[in-house]
Amino acid sequence: MNFSSAIPDAAVNPAELASLAAMIRAGSTLIVIESHDEPQVLTLFAELRRQLNRPLFKWTAAQGMKSVERDSALPEDLSDPAAALEYIGQAGERGLYLLMDFHPYLQDPVNVRRLRELTRVQDGVAAGTLVLVSPELKLPRELEAVARRFELMPPERAALETMVREEAARWSEQRQGAVRLCERAMEQLLGNLEGLTMKDARRLARNAIFDDGALDESDLPEVMRAKFELLNPGGVLGYEMETARFGQIAGMPRLKRWLELRSPVFTAAEPPSGLDMPRGMMLLGVQGCGKSLAARAAAGLFGVPLLHLDCGALYNRFHGESERNLRESLKAAELMAPCVLWIDEIEKGLAVSDSDGGTSRRMLGTLLTWMAEHRSRVFIAATANDISILPPELVRKGRFDEIFFVDLPDEKTRAGILAIHLQRRELKPQLFPLSEIARSTDGFSGAELEHLVVAALYAAHAESEPLTTDHLMAEIKQTRPLSVTMAEPIAELRQWAASRAVAA
């Protein structure tokens, strides 16, 4: 960082600078910035110092008070927070004072009182402008009234690009060789870094370049994962890349086609005009028929990360936290875009009950509002098994682009499912009379067909024999599929779906 240059730093966002300058010109004397990106705050204030023509100081417990333009410590030792505050009161410089990580010292009532006096404006003047910079900061109530909070804006694309090229140049300088930069990967990397602080973005870019002196497509999954780790609020979201593929799923031809038509639009750099951005689907149907699998495969087909919103983890024993968890998860999903947000068995997480003081109702409201309003490339893939507790608002026309009904597999699909699961266990499907087995498994779900293969393999293994059709047939006889034990709810589900959903 070069503080003496008169050229604005490329990493400074003009809009951000302007709004901070306006805040200070309007007479704010205590500003709170919650961020762990100290370099970014410093860059911003260095520029601001030039614009406002006021001296800039930075205080830390380790180094005391420093003048930023002279990059030198003040003659006095001011590492003690109380001494630093006293100094500010007497200096009469109308300076900008950055107090880094001052939050632990706000426990001391004397410091709080002194801060309050310092920020008081008398006869139109105050001692200076105090800026508290901490990753997280809760102010005592006495200060909350006078403080203004300033939120750093995430760096813009141009600033990110400058930074990535700086990191590439740094590598070249150290290793005396040029970095292999794939421009396409660069474009994607910049998209991935959006929404992060400059400090975090720089760390990810540096890792991507410094591992092998190249920036190419192979770096991107790692960057996405690292970004996800930074954003994941309270561990509520799960992350999968290279997740399920439709090749592993038999049946659902309409769903596949529907997604294939939307995939290029969802991932296009510029969405084609006149086409609405795909926003989401609901898969509803009989348990064990591949809904969860298909929801995940949507991410595989789009070639984007899958974020799994765990409804169970959303509910937090601390009052009010569950809504915040949901809001933060949705925000994180927006920053991870393009991505698929998978909400499995949504009816369980959002079933509205009267016993929870309205939490689930507010959660449902939060989700519905977000679904209606967000403009990011987040595709929701929701699944549901149980329509009896599914909030009707969720399936009203227009909420999802489409509601698909995933029924028990028909004969041809059953043969396909058997083939997939035999193959997965290194058996040759063509050695088995699949259409005959499929005919004998009417009413079996996909999960039950998979289980059939597994159980028959165990039986064969116990007899030290290779798997035969007889093993499979014996297992079929012993199975009472869900479609028998749950005939009634399944009939209701079908009837419900007939007028509201499309067959997958």
Ligand X SMILES: Nc1ncnc2c1ncn2[C@@H]1O[C@H](COP(=O)(O)OP(=O)(O)O)[C@@H](O)[C@H]1O
# of chain residues touching ligand X (CB under 6 A): 17
User: Using CA atoms, how far apart are residues 452 and 431, in angstroms rounded to an integer?
Assistant: 17
Helix or strand run (H / E) with residue 67: strand 64-67
Stretch that binds Mg ion, among 258-266, 286-294, 401-409, 433-441 (CB under 5 A): 286-294
Instruction: State which residue, 224 or 382, has the beta carbon closest to Mg ion.
Output: 382
User: Using CA atoms, how far apart are residues 215 and 198, in angstroms rounded to an integer?
Assistant: 18
Residue 91 contacts residue 127 (beta carbons within 8 Å): yes
Instruction: State which residue, 173 or 426, has the beta carbon closest to ligand X.
Output: 426
445 forms part of the interface with Mg ion (CB under 5 A): no
Instruction: State which residue, 56 or 289, has the beta carbon closest to ligand X.
Output: 289
Stretch that binds ligand X, among 146-154, 286-294, 321-329, 335-343 (CB under 6 A): 286-294
Among 64, 288, 349, 481, contact with ligand X (rule: CB under 6 A): 288
Among 49, 291, 377, 471, contact with ligand X (rule: CB under 6 A): 291
β partners of residue 280: 380
HEC letters along 321-365: HHHHHHHHHHHHHHHHCCEEEEECCHHHHHCCCHHHCCHHHHHHH
Please identify which residue in the block is written with the tokens 């348990």.
287
# of chain residues touching Mg ion (CB under 5 A): 1
Cα radius of gyration rounded to whole Å, the chain? 30
Residue 340 contacts residue 299 (beta carbons within 8 Å): yes
Nearest-CA neighbor of 97 among 48, 145, 153?
48
Other beta carbons less than 10 A from residue 438's beta carbon: 22
Alpha helices (runs of H) in 440-504, residue ranges in sequence order: 446-462, 469-478, 482-485, 487-500
325 forms part of the interface with Mg ion (CB under 5 A): no
Stretch that binds ligand X, among 30-38, 126-134, 283-291, 454-462 (CB under 6 A): 283-291
Comparing every residue's Cβ against Mg ion, the nearest one is: 292
Find the binding residues for ligand X in span 212-251 (CB under 6 A).
249-251
Query: Binds 288, which of Mg ion, ligand X, none (CB < 5 to 8 A, cut-off by type)?
Result: ligand X
Query: Binds 100, which of Mg ion, ligand X, none (CB < 5 to 8 A, cut-off by type)?
Result: none
HEC letters along 257-307: HHHHHHHHHHHCCCCCCCCCCCCEEEEEECCCCCHHHHHHHHHHHHCCCEE
Report, in Å, the least distance between residue 383 CB and Mg ion.
6
292 forms part of the interface with Mg ion (CB under 5 A): yes
Find the binding residues for ligand X in span 364-393 (CB under 6 A).
383
Report, in Å, the least distance between residue 290 CB and ligand X.
3
The token pair that represents 118 in the structure block: 């310092």
Comparing every residue's Cβ against ligand X, the nearest one is: 446
Instruction: State which residue, 248 or 316, has the beta carbon closest to ligand X.
Output: 248
Report, in Å, the least distance between residue 476 CB and ligand X.
16
Mapping DSSP to helix (H, G, I), strand (E, B) and coil, where does residue 382 land?
strand
Query: Binds 497, which of Mg ion, ligand X, none (CB < 5 to 8 A, cut-off by type)?
Result: none
326 forms part of the interface with ligand X (CB under 6 A): no
Instruction: State which residue, 68 or 295, has the beta carbon closest to ligand X.
Output: 295
| DSSP code for 122 | B
φ, ψ of residue 406 to 5 degrees: the values are: -105, 105
Residue 158 contacts residue 10 (beta carbons within 8 Å): yes
287 forms part of the interface with ligand X (CB under 6 A): yes
Instruction: State which residue, 244 or 378, has the beta carbon closest to ligand X.
Output: 244
Report, in Å, the least distance between residue 352 CB and ligand X.
22
13 forms part of the interface with Mg ion (CB under 5 A): no
Find the binding residues for ligand X in span 405-464 (CB under 6 A).
409, 417, 420, 446-447, 450
| DSSP code for 310 | -
User: Using CA atoms, how far apart are residues 361 and 354, in angstroms rounded to an integer?
Assistant: 9
Among 28, 43, 292, 322, contact with ligand X (rule: CB under 6 A): 292
Q: What angle do CA 31, 36, 38 make, to 5 degrees?
A: 70
Report, in Å, the least distance between residue 456 CB and ligand X.
15
Query: Binds 481, which of ligand X, Mg ion, none (CB < 5 to 8 A, cut-off by type)?
Result: none
Q: Are strands 72-73 and 402-406 parallel, antiparallel or unpaired?
A: unpaired
Nearest-CA neighbor of 42 among 97, 103, 112?
97
Query: Binds 305, which of Mg ion, ligand X, none (CB < 5 to 8 A, cut-off by type)?
Result: none
Report, in Å, the least distance between residue 414 CB and ligand X.
9
The dihedral over CA atoms of 216, 217, 222, 227, expressed in degrees to the nearest 10, equals: 90
289 forms part of the interface with ligand X (CB under 6 A): yes
Instruction: State which residue, 363 or 482, has the beta carbon closest to ligand X.
Output: 482
Instruction: By CB under 6 A, name the binding residues for ligand X.
Output: 249-251, 287-293, 383, 409, 417, 420, 446-447, 450
Give the residues lining the site for Mg ion (CB under 5 A).
292
